[in-house]
Structure 1
Amino acid sequence: MTSSFDELSRSLGVRGSDITHLELDGRWGKHRAAEPGRARLYATLGGGGVLDLPRQRVHLRAGELAFLPRTDAHVVRDGLATSIPPGGSACEGMRQVAASAWSNTREPSSRLVIVDFDLDTRDAPWLGLLSPIVRVPAEDPGLGRWLRETLSLLAGAHELSPSLRQEIATTWARALFAHALRDASASLPGADAVRDERVVAALVQARARPEEDWELGALAARVGVSRSVLAERTTALLGEPLGHYLRRLRIDRAAALLESSDAPVKTIAARVGYDSESAFARAFSRERGTTPTAWRRGRRAGVGQSRAEQVL
């Protein structure tokens, strides 16, 4: 079950990323507002700084990584003596020196790399249970070393294509979220659920085959927990009972098949676990507000219109 956290992290989509390199000296800092649907990584390649969240302060050391899974409101600055007003910044003499690099000195005292991830969180309700900030120490020989080395390489690799940079960023994001799922510092209500690898393993198994008729007691026995514990902790992870979540996941996958294939509705219904086309149509209509056939027609009409606009 050691890969359960890694598999669960794949339920979070990464739509894009931005990488910014900063070389700073003197007093500097910025107040960042909360950014729902985004995550942020601070990598301190040299020097240091301070990261303040509403109820937590982290001193960044050289070689350390600080990951904000939800990009809550925070302040990043060179030190405690530098005051940053809400919505303000203190970065005197900052100038752009490359496409994604900024500097305010020729001899920087601090070197930071900031990676912003644009996320699709619709299938990751567990995100709210993670700690607001997850640290990867400078001495971490695994994830920390790998991330620092690839970040250093990217600092000078401006010739990489956008698609290759996106692949690298997606890999980073999944590794960071898997690390955050394992983090023991989360203290939010329900956080024990996200740290229980047996429960996560059960969720990963059910997610992989939502079309199966999962019986909660049998699934609980498979991973070695009681039925009541599994029910309580999957509800904490998902924000809804596991059965409700899996029904919604079936409909999501059916919708994707309706849009991308010409398979008959009856065939798609069977593929996502429904015994009859009529039962599937009722479930689909409850979730999407329209019939499977109307959904397919509407989505394909929208795609056709989009392609015509591109041509024009």
Structure 2
Amino acid sequence: MDVLSDVIAVMRTGRPRSARVAWHAPWAQRFAPVPGSAGFQVILQGPCWLVRPDTGPVPLAVGDVVFRPHGRGHTLADNPATPPTAPCDPDDPRSLARHTTDTVSTPASADVPTTVTLCGAYQLGPARPHPLLHDLPELVHLPAHLGRHPELRATVDLLATELEAPRLGRDAIVPALLDTLLVHILRTWLDEQPARGATTGWAAALHDPATHTALQAMHRDPARPWTVATLAAEAGLSRASFSRRFTALVGQPPLTYLTWWRMTTAAHLLRESDAPLHAIAARAGYTSEFAFARAFKRHHGTAPGKYRRSE
């Protein structure tokens, strides 16, 4: 798998949740913080405002996509001055039940402005999150611009259609579309960073050919006995130049990241599969279960077997 696909596969867990929601003015809905999750809002109809406690309100228009990667609380409103209602918990589908949208096309009064949104959340793995997630800002706002981000817009349209008029196969297609939406949100954000002058961090690392090649090699075959020299050869640089560049962009030396990734992958396999311990150890580059267990406990604070039972 490529680096971004690997990162999403490891950091995502459970099933994503979503709803198509109609809001009739005046309205202001507070969304509670949900640690260990990332939320999104897509504006399908009518303008609204995103209100956060730490900064000024953000106007949103039809087609805008908002991604909140760190589970922080926020408010959506028809007007920043509208008092918000009690917090809505995205983990509780009943908290949105009063808003769900069988009556979107026929609101109570034609004179009442209606806003329609797609809202949802992704559950993130309990293990330490990937550093790519740390690089994301509190708010990723992708405004709708004609002709820009066609794949993102197509995914939003498909998801909106499925949620508006449920049909056979919905339970299979909606989670797949939500995962596709997450990929396109992250792709779009990563693609925009070089134009904004990003010179360090994961966006810069994935756009740097040498560092990207080394990361791809690690993710393609994490069990291989990589050294700085063999990774530098993959990247086409001298050992010293590669080590400096990788560390400056990614924020940690190559072998430190490799060990972190091996232990993160192992934790994911312990959570999500019933693979035997020796197979997981081999996937993480260890020929000895004992050596793997020592390394895993050093990184996660608990033995692999106990970690699996607790999860």
**TM-score, normalised to structure 2's length?**
0.72
1:51·1:77 contact (CA, 8 Å) conserved in 2? yes
Asked whether 1:110 is paired with 2:115, we answer yes
Alpha-carbon distance between aligned partners in 2 of 1:186 and 1:281, rounded to the nearest angstrom = 44
Q: Per the alignment, in what secondary structure is the counterpart of residue 120 of structure 2?
A: strand
Alpha-carbon distance between aligned partners in 1 of 2:68 and 2:253, rounded to the nearest angstrom = 19
Residue among 219, 222, 225 paired with 1:213: 225
Percent identity of the aligned residues? Answer: 21
Alpha-carbon distance between aligned partners in 1 of 2:227 and 2:250, rounded to the nearest angstrom = 14
1:251·1:287 contact (CA, 8 Å) conserved in 2? no
Q: 1:116 to 1:170 in 2, by over 3 A?
A: same
Instruction: Give the stretch that moved more between structures: 129-138 or 214-223.
Output: 214-223
1:24·1:105 contact (CA, 8 Å) conserved in 2? no
Cα displacement string for residues 78-129 of structure 1 (whole angstroms, at most 9, x for unaligned residues): 12332448959xxxxx98375x767663544322221222222635232121
Alpha-carbon distance between aligned partners in 1 of 2:126 and 2:183, rounded to the nearest angstrom = 13
Alpha-carbon distance between aligned partners in 1 of 2:23 and 2:272, rounded to the nearest angstrom = 50
Deviation of 1:245 after TM superposition, in Å, equals 0.7
Q: Per the alignment, in what secondary structure is the counterpart of residue 63 of structure 2?
A: coil
Q: Per the alignment, in what secondary structure is the counterpart of residue 241 of structure 1?
A: helix
Q: Per the alignment, in what secondary structure is the counterpart of residue 153 of structure 1?
A: helix
User: Which has a greater percent of strand?
Assistant: 1
1:42·1:67 contact (CA, 8 Å) conserved in 2? yes
Aligned to 1:134: 140
Asked whether 1:158 is paired with 2:173, we answer no
Q: 1:257 to 1:86 in 2, by over 3 A?
A: closer
Cα displacement string for residues 125-157 of structure 1 (whole angstroms, at most 9, x for unaligned residues): 321210222222322241332133113312333
Q: 1:102 to 1:205 in 2, by over 3 A?
A: farther
Q: 1:275 to 1:51 in 2, by over 3 A?
A: same
Instruction: Give the stretch that moved more between structures: 165-174 or 117-126.
Output: 117-126
Q: 1:185 to 1:246 in 2, by over 3 A?
A: closer
RMSD (CA atoms): 4.1
Alpha-carbon distance between aligned partners in 1 of 2:201 and 2:118, rounded to the nearest angstrom = 32
Q: 1:30 to 1:105 in 2, by over 3 A?
A: same
Deviation of 1:275 after TM superposition, in Å, equals 4.4
**TM-score, normalised to structure 1's length?**
0.72
Residue among 76, 95, 98 paired with 1:96: 98
Q: Per the alignment, in what secondary structure is the counterpart of residue 226 of structure 1?
A: helix
Q: Could you list the runs of 5+ residues in structure 2 that have no partner in the other structure? A: 89-95
Alpha-carbon distance between aligned partners in 2 of 1:251 and 1:7, rounded to the nearest angstrom = 13
Alignment of 1:36-115 (within 5 A): 36-53=35-52, 54-55=54-55, 57-84=57-84, 96=98, 105-107=108-110, 108-115=113-120
Q: Could you list the runs of 5+ residues in structure 1 that have no partner in the other structure? A: 89-93, 304-312
Aligned to 1:144: 152
2:223·2:285 contact (CA, 8 Å) conserved in 1? yes
Aligned to 1:241: 256
1:253·1:272 contact (CA, 8 Å) conserved in 2? no
Cα displacement string for residues 262-298 of structure 1 (whole angstroms, at most 9, x for unaligned residues): x8x4x76555423445534543554567777xx39x9
Aligned to 2:286: 274
Asked whether 1:222 is paired with 2:234, we answer yes
2:266·2:283 contact (CA, 8 Å) conserved in 1? no
Matched residue count: 285
2:262·2:284 contact (CA, 8 Å) conserved in 1? no
Q: 1:210 to 1:112 in 2, by over 3 A?
A: same
Q: 1:237 to 1:158 in 2, by over 3 A?
A: farther
1:257·1:268 contact (CA, 8 Å) conserved in 2? no
Asked whether 1:283 is paired with 2:295, we answer yes
Deviation of 1:183 after TM superposition, in Å, equals 4.2
Alpha-carbon distance between aligned partners in 2 of 1:237 and 1:86, rounded to the nearest angstrom = 46
1:49·1:59 contact (CA, 8 Å) conserved in 2? yes
Q: Per the alignment, in what secondary structure is the counterpart of residue 10 of structure 2?
A: coil
Cα displacement string for residues 231-268 of structure 1 (whole angstroms, at most 9, x for unaligned residues): 24333699x9314314524643775799424x8x4x76
